[in-house]
A and B are shown apart, each in its own frame.
Chain A
Amino acid sequence: MSAHEQFAEDLTLHALGTLQGEERASLEKHLDICPACRQELEQLRGDMALLAMATSGPKPPQRARQRLLDAIAEEPRVPTVVLARKSPFNGWAALGWAAAVGMLLVVIQLRRENYFLRESVNNLASMTGQQTVELANARRVVDTLTAPDAQTVTLVASKNPPQPQGKAFYLRNRSGLVFIANNLAPLPPDKIYELWLIPPTGAPIAAGLFKPDAKGNATVVNPPGLPAGVEAKTFAVTLEPATGPHDAPRGTGVMQGGA
């Protein structure tokens, strides 16, 4: 099967896209009914491709790549699989090409998904950054409250001798408890202070043993073993034998406060 000789030159011009007017209309009419000339047209385009492949020049600027990826990210459409046009079946070669088309589409889709995953990672990284800042602030608060070298000043009415004081900060649902005490008397030998959480009903719950420093200051932060969700009616501090923790307060009461 060979192309019609009378159309040979016009086919070349048509492949180049330069055939116009009457000649073009006439050729297109013929192409509709002539597979040989259609095949010749495809081969002429293949010849054009050879010429294109021989073109050399500078590589595209780096920004062009990002510009394309940005534009693609804004495209709503997911590429769909479109079967290749009908062509004479060529056994394994046809299967190979079908597989290649499939792989191409898979690659395109995976690249697209990759882009969106990267976006998610960027968002998560941003959230993590925010949380890191918040955590750093929280640590700073705790450090300020609990650092051994933190200066603690208690203001009382004039002429009153300083009395032991404590403040408990309690987060019931998260078992969070920070207790800060000052003006504590030095511990007698073999004794220790013990903090108690006293619920509205039921037995007091041990909430940490502590010793004051030389200035009478002490802190308890998130004592281990404190059950979650327990309502606190009162917090209290007792002076207990140093062998604790204890299952119930038995020693001398030092201070207490209602929640």
Chain B
Amino acid sequence: MAALYDRYSPVVYSVALRVLGDTGGAEDVQQDVFLQLWRNPGAFDASRGNLGAWLAVISRNRAIDALRKRRPESDLENVVLSVVPDMAGDADRSRIAEKVRGLLGTMPTPQRAALEMAYYKGLTHTEIAAKTGEPLGTIKTRIRAGLTALRKAFQE
């Protein structure tokens, strides 16, 4: 477990920290994520994707739960994901991170803002619409377009 921790804790911790904005909370989320994996290693479905990507999503979800002060909404087993690019190596992850950051940089500001509010703050489309004064449908479309733009960039 120490080896898994050494390999994946930077991404697990940084996602939680980005969401929560406080190191203590991020540490708690990280602890919870790795303990869950230790207790239930079968929750990770290796036939569907990369462990690092899965842990990153679990960490983001748990951090949002903590931010919104709610109980974890889903079991680990229910978080199934498939990732297009291969993230096996450190070099792959660095390349992916760079590409995603580049893409976010070129995204229209309203689209990126909607995506980041939903992703890093866990705001519902209704809350984002209230904040920005945009119609609900527009917010939904922007969030979806932002996420799928990432996928397309890696399918090319």
Contacts and interface: CB of A to CB of B under 8 A. Distances in A.
A75 to B, nearest CB: 6
A28 to B, nearest CB: 11
Contacts of A55: 11, 14-15, 18, 56, 97
Interface of A: 8-10, 12-13, 15-20, 39, 42-61, 64-65, 67-69, 71-72, 75, 77, 79-85, 87, 94, 97-98, 100-101, 104-105, 107-108, 111-112
A83 to B, nearest CB: 7
Given A58-B17, A60-B10, A107-B3, A82 B42 contact: yes
B2 interface: yes
Nearest to B144: A12
Q: Which of B14, B23, B47, B83 has the most CB of A within 10 A?
A: B47
Contacts of A39: 82
Nearest to A20: B124
B1 interface: yes
Given A52-B59, A84-B45, 7 more contacts: A9-B140, A18-B123, A53-B11, A53-B87, A56-B14, A71-B35, A108-B38
Nearest to A67: B31
A81 B1 CA distance: 15
B66 interface: no
A47 B100 CA distance: 10
Contacts of B104: 54
B113 interface: no
Contacts of A104: 4, 41, 44, 46, 51
The A interface, classified by DSSP as helix, strand, loop or mixed, is: helix
Interface of B: 1-6, 9-15, 17-18, 23, 26-27, 30-31, 34-35, 38-54, 56-57, 59-61, 64, 73-74, 79-85, 87, 93, 96-98, 100-101, 104, 115, 118-119, 122-125, 140-141, 143-144, 147-148, 150-151, 154
A47 B39 contact: no
A53 B81 contact: no
Nearest to B125: A13
Contacts of B9: 59-60, 64-65
Contacts of A85: 45, 47-48, 80
B151 A47 contact: yes
A87 B48 contact: yes
Contacts of B98: 54
A20 B42 CA distance: 28
B24 to A, nearest CB: 10
Contacts, number: 209
Q: Give the most central of B34, B73, B118, B144: most A CB within 10 Å.
A: B144
A12 B84 CA distance: 17
A13 B143 contact: yes
Contacts of B97: 53-56
Contacts of B100: 50-51, 53-54
- What are the 3 tightest A-B residue pairs by CB atom distance, in nearest-first order? A82-B42, A45-B81, A52-B56
Contact of A68 (B1, B59, B64): B1
A17 to B, nearest CB: 6
Q: Among A15, A42, A55, A68, find the residue whose CB has the most chain B CB atoms closer than 10 A.
A: A55
Contacts of B115: 51
A51 B2 contact: no
A12 B35 contact: no
Nearest to B65: A17
A68 B34 contact: yes
A75 B151 CA distance: 39
Nearest to A100: B46
